[in-house]
Amino acid sequence: MGWGGGRDGAGGDGVGEEAAGNDGDEAGEAVAASTSFHYIIVGNEVIPGNLASCALSTMQNLNTALIATKLNIPISTAIATNVFDMPFPPSQGAFSEASSADMTGIAGFLASKKTPLLVNVYPYFAYANQPKDMQLNYALFTAKGMVVVDGSLNYANRFDAMYSALEKARHTDVSMVV
């Protein structure tokens, strides 16, 4: 698989080929062989939004392409917490109406691949928007114990509401990574 460079005029400007002592394809393959990817992220906070409906199919197509080239790189997406309706108590956490269908499909894909969902958390905004309902240590993920009581349920941080949303989408088998 080439990198578009080389001396055949098929693209690239040839920069670095002389220094590498070979053509661009061989240099690219050497870099690829020594590079490790933890994940390939499709979109950054595109859900909800105009591109949300493209995320799952892009993830599936990219996965197919990687399998065809025998590359085993997990594919995920990065979301902001605005995909969740985060009411108090956390047990009521769910995907927002605008993101529910897209997130349910993506959660299914991630579960089938055993790949986590990447979440960009913004503790300041969560706390600033709900200072009466939310303790700072709950928003910052620093509570030493359970700080929110919801009937017989107790919660330590905002992930609990996020997991409630995944549970309602029937995907408790999807982990989250910050």
Task: Quote the pLDDT of residue 27.
Answer: 58
Length of the chain: 178
Q: Which two tokens stand for residue 5?
A: 């460079």
* Element spanning 33, H or E: helix 24-33
* Residuewise pLDDT in 10s, the chain (178 residues): 333 443 334 444 444 444 444 455 665 566 667 788 899 999 999 999 999 999 999 999 999 999 999 889 999 999 998 898 876 778 888 999 999 999 999 999 999 999 999 999 888 888 888 888 888 898 888 999 998 888 898 988 888 888 889 999 999 999 999 8
| Distance between CA atoms of residues 109 and 111, nearest Å | 5
Q: Which class does domain 41-177 fall in?
A: alpha beta
Task: Quote the pLDDT of residue 108.
Answer: 97
Q: What's the number of CA atoms in the CB half-sphere (13 Å) around residue 171?
A: 25
Task: Quote the pLDDT of residue 12.
Answer: 45
CB 62 within 8 A of CB 137: no
**What ranges do the domains of the chain cover?**
41-177
Task: Quote the pLDDT of residue 116.
Answer: 97
Task: Quote the pLDDT of residue 35.
Answer: 81
